[in-house]
């Protein structure tokens, strides 16, 4: 199971998809995750991708077979 974790003011939202099956539901979840990541990057967020047992900043194209992505929102100072 792959997933995208999106932080929000209530904690976080998760989008998950099964990389071992090709169903309408899986394709929809993958499209949603790819859209969320693209939108987050346009809004100035960073994206990390789990590689092995650690998260690394990722600027590459979305990979639906990646185990986990996380959106990292910028911190506002003030």
Question: What is the model's pTM?
Answer: 0.89
Q: At the top level of CATH, which class does the domain 2-72 belong to?
A: alpha beta
Q: What is the C-alpha to C-alpha distance for residues 63 and 67, in angstroms, rounded to an integer?
A: 9
pLDDT on residue 78: 63
For the chain, which residues make up each domain, given as ranges? 2-72
Residue 5 β-bridge partners? 14, 70
**Residue-wise pLDDT tens digits, 12-63:** 999 999 999 999 999 999 999 999 999 999 999 999 999 999 999 999 999 9
> Shortest CA distance to 40 belongs to which of 27, 49, 50, 53?
49
Residue-level pLDDT at 11: 86
- Fill in the DSSP letter of residue 21: -
């Amino acid at each position: 199971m792959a997933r995208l974790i999106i932080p929000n003011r209530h904690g976080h939202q998760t989008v998950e998809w099964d990389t071992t099956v090709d169903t309408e539901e899986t394709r929809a979840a993958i499209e949603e995750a790819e859209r969320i990541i693209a939108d987050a990057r346009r809004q100035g967020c960073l994206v990390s991708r789990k590689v092995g047992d650690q998260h690394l900043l990722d600027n590459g194209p979305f990979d639906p077979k990646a185990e986990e992505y996380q959106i990292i929102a910028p911190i506002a100072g003030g």
